[in-house]
Chain A
Amino acid sequence: MKKIENTYTLDSGSFRDPSGQVYIKKASNGNPTIIRGINTETYQQQKELLACNFFQELVKKNKIVATTIYDKNKIIEENVNLNWSFYLQHDYINFISYPYEWSFYQLKDAALLHLELLKTSLENDWILKDSTPYNVQFINNKPIFIDTPSFIKWEKDEGWDSYRQFCMMFLYPLMLRAYLDLDFRLFLRSNLDGIDAEVLYKSLSLRKLLKKGVLSHVILPYFMERTILKKERDTAPAKERTKIKHSRISIIALVDSMINIVSKLNSKSNISAWADYDHINTYEQDDNKIKKNFINQVTSSKSYNTVWDFGANTGLFSEHISKNVGEILAMDSDSIAIGKMYNRLKKQDTNIFPLIQKIENISPNQGFNSNERLRLEFRSSPDLVMCLAVIHHIRISSNIPCEIFLKYLRTLESDIIIEFVDRDDDMVIKLLANKKEQYNDYNIKSFESSVLKFFSIKGRQPVKKGLRQLYHLSPK
Chain B
Amino acid sequence: MNNSLLLCLILIIPINAYAYIDPGSGSALITAILGFFAAIIYSFKKFFYNLKDKFKSKSK
Contact = CB atoms under 8 A, between A and B. Distances in A.
Given A163-B27, A241-B25, A249 B17 contact: no
A252 B41 CA distance: 12
A253 B42 contact: yes
Interface stretch (B2-10, B29-37, B51-59): B29-37
Interface of A: 159-161, 163-164, 216-217, 220-221, 224-225, 227-229, 232-234, 238-239, 241-242, 244-247, 249-254, 256-257
B28 A244 contact: yes
Contact of B17 (A220, A234, A241, A257): A234
B36 to A, nearest CB: 6
Contacts of B23: 224-225, 228-229
A238 B25 contact: yes
Given A224-B29, A251-B31, A254-B39, 18 more contacts: A159-B32, A161-B27, A163-B27, A164-B27, A220-B30, A220-B34, A221-B27, A229-B18, A238-B21, A241-B28, A241-B29, A242-B25, A249-B39, A254-B34, A254-B35, A257-B34, A257-B41, A257-B42
Interface size for chain B: under 10, 10 to 19, 20 to 34, or 35 or more residues?
Answer: 20 to 34
B21 A229 contact: yes
Contacts of A246: 28, 31-32, 35
Contact of B21 (A216, A233, A249): A233
Given A160-B31, A233-B18, A250 B36 contact: yes
Contacts of B26: 221, 224-225, 227-228, 241
Contacts of B18: 229, 233
Contact of B39 (A159, A163, A229, A247): A247
B22 A252 contact: no
A201 to B, nearest CB: 13
A456 to B, nearest CB: 57
23 contacts: A159-B28, A159-B35, A216-B34, A224-B30, A227-B26, A228-B21, A228-B26, A229-B21, A233-B21, A238-B20, A241-B28, A244-B29, A244-B32, A247-B35, A247-B39, A249-B39, A250-B31, A250-B35, A251-B31, A253-B38, A253-B39, A253-B42, A257-B38
A244 B41 CA distance: 21
Contacts of B28: 159, 161, 241-242, 244, 246
B34 to A, nearest CB: 5
Contacts of A256: 38, 42
Contacts of A252: 42
Contacts of A254: 31, 34-35, 38-39
A293 to B, nearest CB: 57
The 5 closest A-B pairs by CB, nearest first: A250-B35, A253-B42, A253-B38, A225-B23, A224-B26
Nearest to A221: B30
B38 A250 contact: yes
B29 to A, nearest CB: 6
A247 B18 CA distance: 32
